Amino acid sequence: MAFENAPSFAFEAEGRLSQSGICCGGMMDEGIAQFLGEGRIAALAGASIVLVLMAFVARAILTSRRLQGSSLFNRLFVVVAVTSGFFSAVSSAIGFSLITSQETDDFFRNAVLPPAFGVFVFCLSVAIWVGGAEMVRHRDWFRGVGAGPVGDALSFIERAFKLFIVIPILAAILFLVSTWTTVVGIGGVDAVRHTYGFELERLQSECAGIVAYRQRDFLFLEDLRLSVEDVRRAASAELTSGRQTGSAGRGVVSDYFAGVADWYAGLEQSVAALIAGDDPSGESPFTADICAEKTEGMRRLLARNAYDNYDAWAREFDTAFNDFAIILNRWRQDRRIETLLDQQLAGFARANPKPVGDSRGRVTPSQMAAIDRYAEEVEDSVKKLVSRQRREKPPEPILSAAELSPARGMTILYRWFVPAEPEQEEKRRARTQSVVKAEVVPSLSTLTPRDAVLKNANIFSDVWALALAWDYAAYILMLAYLFFPSAERAAGFKDET
């Protein structure tokens, strides 16, 4: 627990240093080192307290006069039962706090209820194992039957009933109360981090694909510039050599050609301004390492200590993740260049009116043919650029963890025993414009610690094994009382009835 606070301290300290204008790495490293040193001292102090407490409890049990006549095995069994109850109480209190915690400052809910639950788990565990062992060792049903084969057989049956019927029922209650919250307390946050780490990798891949898609705007701009140069050269050639009409010099045709070339150049400048200007999302997809910067910040949030206030930790990460997902969706649906070209193409004739005559009379048929031909070439060029821009589509969104595995709560357990039917493979449909507009980068697949340890039970199987060992090691030892009744009494007391 002490070391888990180190990342949180590091990032908070880094933020404070950045805000104050201090950029000295030595001071940052010194602060982290100092805190880590304090964390080691705190960990050592905590371990020492636990060891001293356990030593005191073990000594008290082993030397207790109440256990006079009990065997060493019986006394050590009580030590194991009490120790496992203590471990379960601490871990269950942590898990209970994760389940019931609130971001608001609720003293009873956040500060009183979890430790109270831990005390309850400790008392319940000791009652089941220590009290249960006492119940198993003594006769209840056949007290009047004397010693001998019949009495021993009846005692064996009674003990078997208690060990395999009564104690497992009590153990099931302990599982619901203690083992479950123990697993949540030990592995819940790590299981959430595991799922969120997958989601973060997905978000980074989405960002990389969308940024690569938006980088094509530069290629489009370069094609537009080359097209503008072609139009400008055609206008210049008409002015100097009369390539289209055969009559060089300024006139109606050359003026029209020059006006269209200027209009086209203005269109290029507008597209360049859209690319170079501020993005409406507040972040530019053309910023170097934008994906790495954003995901690195979220990794820092993910690595912070979640036990101080789980709800606040989860909310901060959720907000940062979904805010960036919204930005990615804006980048995906950014069709400003295409819209601009469509609008300008629709108003081409209005922006570049064709001449109907000059001071010397009407435009000749050959000149009008040259004007029409030139206008059609420019319009076709713009249409090709619009068509090319429209054909460019962002990558298909990656499925989120919630889409891959939507089960939550009891449905997760249901899926363990009743596998989902294989889904019919859907026919792949064409990614038309309407389909692309409907696609979105999924938001964060939010997950609670209790759902996370169920969904990732195969990954956190060691946590489940540890929690079961803590809670049920005493039960394995208790089985010795079935086949070895003398194990409960010390030498000199084994023949007492």
Three-state SS string across the chain, please? CCCCHHHHHHHHHHHHHHHCCCCCHHHHHHHHHHHHHHHHHHHHHHHHHHHHHHHHHHHHHHCCHHHCCECHHHHHHHHHHHHHHHHHHHHHHHHHHHHHCCCCCCHHHHHHHHHHHHHHHHHHHHHHHHHHHHHHHCCCCCCCCCCCHHHHHHHHHHHHHHHHHHHHHHHHHHHHHHHHHHHHHHHHHHHHHHHHHHHHHHHHHHHHHHHHHHHHHHHHHHHHHHHHHHHHHHHHHHHHHCCCCCCCCCCHHHHHHHHHHHHHHHHHHHHHHHHHCCCCCCCCCCCCCHHHHHHHHHHHHHHCCCCCCHHHHHHHHHHHHHHHHHHHHHHHCCCHHHHHHHHHHHCHHHHCCCCCEECCEECCHHHHHHHHHHHHHHHHHHHHHHHHHHHCCCCCCCCCHHHHCCCCCHHHHHHHHCCCCCCCCCCCCCCCHHHHHHCCCCCCCCCCHHHHHHHCCCCCHHHHHHHHHHHHHHHHHHCHHHHCHHHHECCCCCCCC
Q: What are phi and psi of 361, to 5 degrees?
A: 135, -170
The Cα 167–Cα 491 span in angstroms is: 28
The Cα 245–Cα 342 span in angstroms is: 30
The Cα 118–Cα 101 span in angstroms is: 15
pLDDT of residue 166 exceeding 80, the answer is yes
Nearest partner of 80 among 465, 472, 474, judged by Cα: 474
Query: 358 - beta bridge partners?
Result: 361
Query: 362 - beta bridge partners?
Result: 357
- pLDDT (0 to 100) of residue 308: 82
Q: What are phi and psi of 495, to 5 degrees?
A: -95, 0
The Cα 438–Cα 396 span in angstroms is: 11
Q: What are phi and psi of 489, to 5 degrees?
A: -115, 150
> In this structure, are residues 398 and 199 in contact, taking their beta carbons and an 8 Å threshold?
no
pLDDT of residue 320 exceeding 90, the answer is yes
Helix axes 310-332, 290-303, angle to 10 degrees: 160
The Cα 456–Cα 277 span in angstroms is: 45
pLDDT of residue 259 exceeding 80, the answer is yes
Pairing state between β 357-358 and 361-362: antiparallel
Nearest partner of 338 among 395, 278, 393, 261, judged by Cα: 393
Confidence category of residue 316, pLDDT binned at 50, 70, 90: very high
pLDDT of residue 22 exceeding 70, the answer is no
The Cα 377–Cα 38 span in angstroms is: 75
383-399: average pLDDT: 88
Question: What is the token pair recorded at 195?
Answer: 């799922």
- pLDDT (0 to 100) of residue 210: 92
pLDDT of residue 69 exceeding 60, the answer is yes
> In this structure, are residues 211 and 476 in contact, taking their beta carbons and an 8 Å threshold?
no
Q: What is the pLDDT of residues 457-469, one digit of tens each?
A: 888 888 898 888 8
- pLDDT (0 to 100) of residue 56: 72
% of the chain at pLDDT higher than 90: 19
The model carries a pTM of 0.76
Q: Which residue has the tokens 């069709």?
A: 335
- pLDDT (0 to 100) of residue 21: 40
400-405: average pLDDT: 88
The Cα 60–Cα 76 span in angstroms is: 11
Question: What is the token pair recorded at 144?
Answer: 């009047």
Nearest partner of 126 among 469, 474, 466, judged by Cα: 474
Nearest partner of 247 among 378, 364, 372, 377, judged by Cα: 364
- pLDDT (0 to 100) of residue 157: 87
- pLDDT (0 to 100) of residue 15: 40
**Cβ-based burial of 355 (10 A; exposed 0-12, middle 13-18, buried ≥19):** middle
pLDDT of residue 247 exceeding 50, the answer is yes
Comparison of pLDDT for 253 and 437, the residue scoring more: 437
Mean pLDDT rounded to a whole number for the chain: 79
> In this structure, are residues 419 and 426 in contact, taking their beta carbons and an 8 Å threshold?
no
pLDDT of residue 158 exceeding 80, the answer is yes
pLDDT of residue 23 exceeding 60, the answer is no
The Cα 308–Cα 6 span in angstroms is: 12
> In this structure, are residues 324 and 362 in contact, taking their beta carbons and an 8 Å threshold?
no
The Cα 152–Cα 146 span in angstroms is: 9
pLDDT of residue 430 exceeding 60, the answer is yes
Q: Report the Cα–Cα distance between both ends of the chain, in Å, rounded.
A: 50
Instruction: Give the CA radius of gyration of the chain.
Output: 38
